[in-house]
Amino acid sequence: MDNSSTYQVETAVDEACSNIIEHAYQGEDKGDILCTCQADGERLTVILQDHGRSFDPLAVKTPDTKAGLKRRQSHGLGLYFIRRWMDEANFEFSPQGVNTLTMVKYKKKTE
């Protein structure tokens, strides 16, 4: 992947892990994050799993990125970056308490 795509993947994973720590585990050392990566010539897939508190990703409002800096919130861009920079972002919440985020980034075609 090119440098821009690599940065986007790194930032998306960092944001997702930060959200798990802050929201699912409420900022405490209450659990683990299992990270699995799979790569082939077409895509990179990153799967994050935790056993923390689940949430409804559809209930998270899209931040107003056009608002002036004084009107913007200091937090709340993590899910926005994940959705914007990854080609796929799928959330699953099992009845057994396993939260799974699967993110996919496709390799850009070069001409």
Domains along the chain?
A: 3-106 (3.30.565.10)
pLDDT at 111 over 60: no
**Residue 98 and residue 92: Cα distance in Å, rounded?**
8
Task: Write down the H helix ranges in the chain.
Answer: 3-19, 78-85
pTM summary value: 0.86
Question: What pLDDT score does 72 carry?
Answer: 62
Q: What angle do CA 76, 82, 88 make, to 5 degrees?
A: 145
Residues 45-103 have pLDDT tens digits of 999 999 999 988 888 777 766 766 666 666 667 899 999 999 999 999 999 999 999 99
The pLDDT value given to residue 74: 61
Give the 3-state secondary structure of residue 14. Answer: helix
What is the model's pLDDT at position 28?
86
